[in-house]
């Protein structure tokens, strides 16, 4: 089924679907996560034997629309996710030609394939820290960070809840705080979030690796495949980084996964257009790459806006 959501993370959308159709969350399968602070379309898969009538899956509200679209004969996997399409809609832009020039430069030269800020949290950019504490076996630090740490972009309700220790409106904090067994609560969270914290810490380490490569070689060595920290040949790349993080390679590799990621990426089929004074920038990316990295380059230092 196709879901269209805005101002909502993918996990929250899955919880709503689960409650609405009375199907456990573990039976809802997704390919990738979409940014909370965007309007995005993605697909959710459910075993057809769990559904009485496809019409029961139709949901419409202000932030989430769900539409059944059909069946597939094979179980979808990550190999079936080719990539994503993006469209940036920008009002009050004066430098239209500059936008085209910048996109041409980005498309020709590419950008470092950093994991974007969404990977680490927007309002609470700490998912990598939580992953680090899991790997270190420090459930106490995990709980302190999850429940008590305050970040400036949080809502006032969230900040007050943390100060008072009241988490009834904070889903993950409530799950963790209500359990008398922190280790069991942590396992529950990892199950709900599909090891998001561990993956975020791996992404953080990969970003540090790209920084090191750029410092040592400039961009000349970026257009190569580099291992994520969980690969057996990753030690030579990450050993000095892990030393600064206070984690040994032997401990890290027990938790993290292995895949290879190119250090440079380029947008595919870019298009810049203007309609009724509104700027549209569209492009495609292969799976795993972040549109926010391109956005940062386009809009840093207000390059596209009239200076006042």
pLDDT given at position 82: 67
Q: What is the DSSP letter of 255?
A: T
For the stretch 109-122, pLDDT in tens is 999 999 998 889 88
Residue 69: Cβ within 10 Å count: 9
Over the Cα atoms of the chain, what is R_g? Answer: 21
Residue 9 neighbours by CB under 8 Å, 6+ apart: 33, 34, 36
- Nearest partner of 298 among 162, 50, 149, 104, judged by Cα: 104
What average pLDDT score do residues 248-255 get? 94
Rounded Cα gap, residues 225 and 248, in angstroms: 23
pLDDT given at position 131: 96
Rounded Cα gap, residues 264 and 249, in angstroms: 25
pLDDT given at position 186: 92
What value does the mean pLDDT of the chain take? 86
Q: Which pair of tokens denotes residue 70?
A: 């059909």
What average pLDDT score do residues 244-267 get? 95
pLDDT given at position 256: 93
- Nearest partner of 230 among 198, 207, 208, 253, judged by Cα: 253
pLDDT given at position 209: 98
Task: Give, for 264, the enclosing helix (H) or strand (E).
Answer: strand 264-265
Judge whether residue 140 has pLDDT over 90: yes
Backbone angles phi, psi at 139, to 5 degrees: -65, -30
Beta 64-67 vs 83-90: how paired, if at all? unpaired
Rounded Cα gap, residues 58 and 3, in angstroms: 10
Architecture of domain 83-110+266-302: 2-Layer Sandwich (3.30)
Q: What's the pTM value of the predicted model, to 2 decimals?
A: 0.80
pLDDT given at position 287: 87
Rounded Cα gap, residues 117 and 37, in angstroms: 12
Pair 77, 35: CB distance under 8 Å = no
What average pLDDT score do residues 125-149 get? 96
CATH fold group of domain 2-80: Alpha-Beta Plaits (3.30.70)
Rounded Cα gap, residues 177 and 157, in angstroms: 17
For the stretch 264-302, pLDDT in tens is 999 999 999 988 888 899 999 998 899 989 988 888 766
What average pLDDT score do residues 220-249 get? 95
For the stretch 75-93, pLDDT in tens is 776 666 667 888 888 887 7
Find tokens 């892990």 and name the residue.
Answer: 242
- Nearest partner of 61 among 121, 100, 16, 25, judged by Cα: 16
- CB neighbour class for 3 (10 Å; exposed up to 12, middle 13-18, buried from 19): buried
For 35-49, 86-100, 245-259, which range has the lowest pLDDT when averaged over its residues?
35-49
For the stretch 216-225, pLDDT in tens is 999 989 999 9
Rounded Cα gap, residues 288 and 291, in angstroms: 10
For 70-84, 144-158, 233-247, 289-303, which range has the lowest pLDDT when averaged over its residues?
70-84
pLDDT given at position 174: 92
pLDDT given at position 79: 66
Rounded Cα gap, residues 216 and 133, in angstroms: 29
CATH code 3.30.70.3160 region(s) in the chain: 2-80
Percent of the chain with pLDDT over 70: 89
Q: Which pair of tokens denotes residue 130?
A: 């939580």
Percent of the chain with pLDDT over 90: 49
Judge whether residue 208 has pLDDT over 90: yes
Judge whether residue 305 has pLDDT over 60: no
- What is the pLDDT confidence band of residue 68, given thresholds at 50, 70 and 90? confident
For the stretch 14-38, pLDDT in tens is 777 787 777 777 777 776 666 766 6
pLDDT given at position 306: 46
Pair 306, 94: CB distance under 8 Å = yes
């Amino acid at each position: 089924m196709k879901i269209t959501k805005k101002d909502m993370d993918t996990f929250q959308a899955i919880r709503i679907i689960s409650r609405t159709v009375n199907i456990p969350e573990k039976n809802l399968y997704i390919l990738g996560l979409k940014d909370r602070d965007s309007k995005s379309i993605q697909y959710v898969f459910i075993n057809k034997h769990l559904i009485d009538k496809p019409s029961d899956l139709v949901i419409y509200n202000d932030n989430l629309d769900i539409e059944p679209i059909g069946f597939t004969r094979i179980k979808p996997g990550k190999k079936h996710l080719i990539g994503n399409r993006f469209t940036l809609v920008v009002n009050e832009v004066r430098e239209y030609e500059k936008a085209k020039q910048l996109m041409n430069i980005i498309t020709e030269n590419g950008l470092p394939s950093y994991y974007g800020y969404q990977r680490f949290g927007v309002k609470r950019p700490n998912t990598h820290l939580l992953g680090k504490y899991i790997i270190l076996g420090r459930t106490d630090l995990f709980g302190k960070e999850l429940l008590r740490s305050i970040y400036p972009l949080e809502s006032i309700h969230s900040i007050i809840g943390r100060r008072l220790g009241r988490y009834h409106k904070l889903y993950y904090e409530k799950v963790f705080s209500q359990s008398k067994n922190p280790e069991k609560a942590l396992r529950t969270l990892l199950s709900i979030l599909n090891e998001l914290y561990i993956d975020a810490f791996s992404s953080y380490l990969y970003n540090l690796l790209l920084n090191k490569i750029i410092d040592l070689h400039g961009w000349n060595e970026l257009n190569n495949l580099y291992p994520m920290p969980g690969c057996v040949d990753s030690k030579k790349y990450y050993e000095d980084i892990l030393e600064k993080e206070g984690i040994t390679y032997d401990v890290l590799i027990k938790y993290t996964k292995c895949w290879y990621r190119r250090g440079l990426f380029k947008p595919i089929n870019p298009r810049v257009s203007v309609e009724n004074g509104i700027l549209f920038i569209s492009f495609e990316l292969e799976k795993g790459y972040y549109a926010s990295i391109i956005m940062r380059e386009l809009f840093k230092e207000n390059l596209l806006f009239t200076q006042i």
